[in-house]
Amino acid sequence: MNLSYTILIPLIPLAVFLLLGIFNKKIKPAVSGYIGVLGLTASAIISFLAAYQYFFVNTKVNGIYQPFIEKTVWMNFTDTLHIDMGVLVDPISIMMVIVVSIVSLMVHIYSRGYMKGDDGYTKFFAFLSLFSFSMFGLVLSTNLFQIYIFWELVGVSSYLLIGYYYTKPSAVAAAKKAFIVTRFADLGFLIGILIIGYYTGTYDFETLNNPEGSAIVNWASSSFMGLSVLTWALILIFMGGAGKSAMFPLHIWLPDAMEGPTPVSALIHAATMVVAGVFLVARLFPMYYFVEDGFALNIVAFVGAFSSLFAAIIAITQTDIKRVLAFSTMSQIGYMMLALGVSGYEGHDGVGYMASMFHLFTHAMFKALLFLCAGSVIHAVHSNYLKDMGGLRKYMPITNITFLIAALAIAGVPPFAGFWSKDEILVAAFEHNKLIYYVGVFVAGLTAFYMFRLYFGIFWGKNTKYEHAPHESPLSMTFPLLVLALLSVVAGFIPFSEFITPDRVGFEAHLNYPLAAVAVTVGLIGIVLAYIFYKKENDLSDKFANGFGVFYKWAYDKFYFDEIYLFVTKKILFKRVAAPIAKFDKKYVDGTMVGIGNTTVATSEKIKGLQSGKVQDYAFAFIAGVVVIALVFIYLWTN
């Protein structure tokens, strides 16, 4: 089965980007929107074709999905260590391609309405295409280094799109923050890549991930500080993934990234780029699982579990609807991470891995939908804050219904998509680690609560008097909402476990009814609480918040992580470390160089009189020289 045409999936958006980017001013906005949508449609069609061919036209050998690899050597170091460029088509990359193309296409369509009349309309579509190209390239990468290149490219596109409103200082600051934080994380990623290259001699995913391959079999051959070097490498790579996926200590950029236009938040900061970290861990899953008995994988699990709890608590207190969704994203990605962390490798043990990918898929649909709904609401109300909203269901029926569907999906109410994937995650956690399971269940309840707090706060609650009556968004914006709502309903029925498992052999997953019942009950409790607090305007929620006292304030201020980081960087790093080093550099390193230069200039100033330009002086020097030489020779000859 030749799937080399999948290379077109990233290349078409690249062509669109170049077209729109180079002829930025010459293309009319209306046309550029169509070009962007058309390019993505083409990519999406090819993605679906590839998925169909891969999964349904025979590629199974002995019941295992065979990866399809097409690559050329790009940089050659040794016989085994070379950097390739190419495409790797296997179940998870196909799944990611589908996710990216669906969400990206919907966001492109949506942006035609949302960004209408904006000055940088063409530029916006160019950036969206750049992002789509990078993301497709990332998921189709064949080796660690190629994935790193595209990893940075999505980082750049994210930076460009967060800072899209570049006249707004807060947007510029947010873009910078996102860039710097993720770059810091990527430093770890790069070191991890170099360690892997040094100790295993290859970057190729298929070679690295082979359970009988030398990388996995010989993991114990060299160690550093009590852990295998490969474990260190995997932890560092996870650090890169954690930065991109806004996991706990590196999460601070994600809420600020909401300064970007809402379609961008839906595409990059909810559905695709932020799950790149999950994808990365899944991509190297056999390594994570086998090296040092999954030590690095345990770190993934606990970081994921903690992040999901931490973010869910903050999400409850936030009043900016996009920030609530941002923290919700972080929480759900934590969910995916913990699912990966508790997964096994073979057969039914791989349920965590499967569940993680499943949740990634369904989450992309309903979280993109939530963001696009939020964009629609913001478009109508011209505010991000809950206090400016309320009673919008009368004005925006379609947004209301689609938001409700997405909220039910994320809360895990059957039969919506989130229920199925969340259930699998909880099954995996229950089988492997009870503590993580309890965290997961608690977070499920919190998720339902804050999501319905948002829903009731926006569409029910108090009847705000609006200066301009809000109205439903145009068709170009509601159409993607409807499509994604449909997907949020049906995506859960895809038998994921038959397609995507760590060992690439499908298995049949069954609903675990007791666990599902627990999860649904907890979710419903959350919804009911939100209903009591926020359905009608009342002061119950304030009283409740006051009951938590200072803890509520902490959560509202995001546990002061921004402040802590600022303190560490500004007060300690910059003042105590960077400033003295800068001073040393200026005084001694620069000083030496400047001194050399100054000495040269001063000396030449002194001796430039020698080169007087007078022929007479030169003649004098010449004759004096001749006389001296003549005297020397005469002296020598006469003796």
Min CB(120)–other proteins separation in Å? 54
Residue closer to other proteins (CB basis): 550 or 615: 615
Residue span 202-221 as binding mask against other proteins, x where in contact by CB under 8 A, dash where not: --------------------
For the bound state, the minimum distance from the C-beta of residue 118 to other proteins, rounded and expressed in Å, comes to: 60
> Residue 616 or 639: which CB sits closer to other proteins?
616
* Alpha helices by DSSP H, 292-433: 295-317, 321-341, 351-381, 397-411, 417-432
Q: How far apart are alpha carbons 137 and 145 in whole angstroms?
A: 12
**Closer to other proteins at the Cβ: 619 or 634?**
619
What Cα–Cα distance (Å) separates residue 19 from each residue in 116, 129, 155, 283, 540? 20, 10, 21, 32, 55
CB of 618 to other proteins, least distance (A): 10
Q: 612: which 2 tokens?
A: 């007087």
619 contributes a contact to other proteins by CB under 8 A = yes
Q: Give the helix, strand, coil percentages of the chain, each rounded to 5.
A: 75, 5, 20
Contact present, 480 and 41 (Cβ < 8 Å): no
Q: What is the nearest approach in angstroms of other proteins to the Cβ of residue 562? A: 60
Give me the residue label for tokens 């790149």.
Answer: 276
* Cβ nearer to other proteins, comparing 549 with 609: 609
Under rule CB under 8 A, which residues in 571-610 are in contact with other proteins? 608
Strands (E), 53-98: 60-61, 64-65, 68-76, 82-89
Instruction: Name the strand (E) or helix (H) holding 95.
Output: helix 91-114
CB of 595 to other proteins, least distance (A): 24
Binding segment for other proteins (CB under 8 A), chosen from 58-66, 270-278, 561-569, 615-623, is 615-623
Interface segment toward other proteins; rule CB under 8 A; list 134-142, 184-192, 456-464, 613-621: 613-621
CB of 634 to other proteins, least distance (A): 14
C-alpha to C-alpha distance for 167 and 113, rounded to whole angstroms: 22
Minimal distance, residue 594 CB to other proteins, in Å? 24
Q: Are 98 and 51 in contact (CB under 8 A)?
A: yes
Q: What is the DSSP string of 234-248?
A: HHHHHHHHHHHTT-G
Q: Figure out which of the listed residues 62, 610, 614, 637 binds other proteins, where binding follows CB under 8 A.
A: 614
- Complex with other proteins: residue 548 or 620, whichever CB lies closer: 620
Q: How far is the CB of 613 from other proteins (least distance, A)?
A: 5
Per the DSSP assignment, residues forming a β-bridge with 411 are none
Nearer to other proteins, 566 or 623 (CB): 623
> Which range binds other proteins by CB under 8 A, 195-203, 332-340, 481-489, 616-624?
616-624
Q: Select 26 or 608, whichever has its Cβ closest to other proteins.
A: 608
Count of residues engaged in binding other proteins, rule: CB under 8 A: 8
Nearer to other proteins, 117 or 613 (CB): 613
With residue 621 as reference, give the H or E element that holds it: helix 615-638
How far is the C-alpha of 562 from the C-alpha of 560, rounded, in Å?
Answer: 5
Single out the residue of 620, 629, 630, 631 in contact with other proteins (rule: CB under 8 A): 620
> Least Å distance between CB 601 and other proteins?
14
Closer Cβ to other proteins, 493 or 618, answer by number:
618
Task: Tell me the closest approach of the beta carbon of residue 620 to other proteins, in angstroms.
Answer: 5
Task: Please select the residue that binds other proteins; options are 80, 464, 521, 612, rule is CB under 8 A.
Answer: 612
In this chain, which stretch among 3-11, 445-453, 463-471, 612-620 interacts with other proteins, using CB under 8 A?
612-620
CA distance 486 to 498: 22
Q: Which helix (H) or strand (E) holds 290?
A: helix 285-290
Of 145, 152, 149, the closest CA to residue 76 belongs to 145
* CB closer to other proteins out of 603 and 612: 612
The yes or no reply on residue 616 touching other proteins (CB under 8 A) is yes
Please, are residues 321 and 229 in contact by the beta-carbon 8 Å criterion? no
Shortest reach from residue 615's CB to other proteins, in Å: 9
Of 435, 582, 623, 634, the one binding other proteins by CB under 8 A: 623
For residue 465, state whether it binds other proteins (rule: CB under 8 A).
no
Output the smallest distance, CB 631 to other proteins, in A.
Answer: 15
- φ/ψ (deg, to 5) at 495: -75, 80
Q: Which stretch binds other proteins (CB under 8 A): 130-138, 449-457, 512-520, 614-622?
A: 614-622
Q: How far apart are CA 365 and CA 417, in angstroms?
A: 9
Residue 466 has a CB neighbour count (10 Å cut-off) of 16
Q: CB-based contacts of 506: which residues, under 8 Å, 6+ apart?
A: 63, 65, 497, 498, 499
In this complex, which beta carbon is closest to other proteins, that of residue 226 or of residue 613? 613
118: number of Cβ within 10 Å:
15
CA angle 162, 166, 170 (to 5 degrees): 70
Comparing CB distances to other proteins, the nearer of 574 and 622 is 622
List interacting residues with other proteins (CB under 8 A).
608, 612-614, 616, 619-620, 623
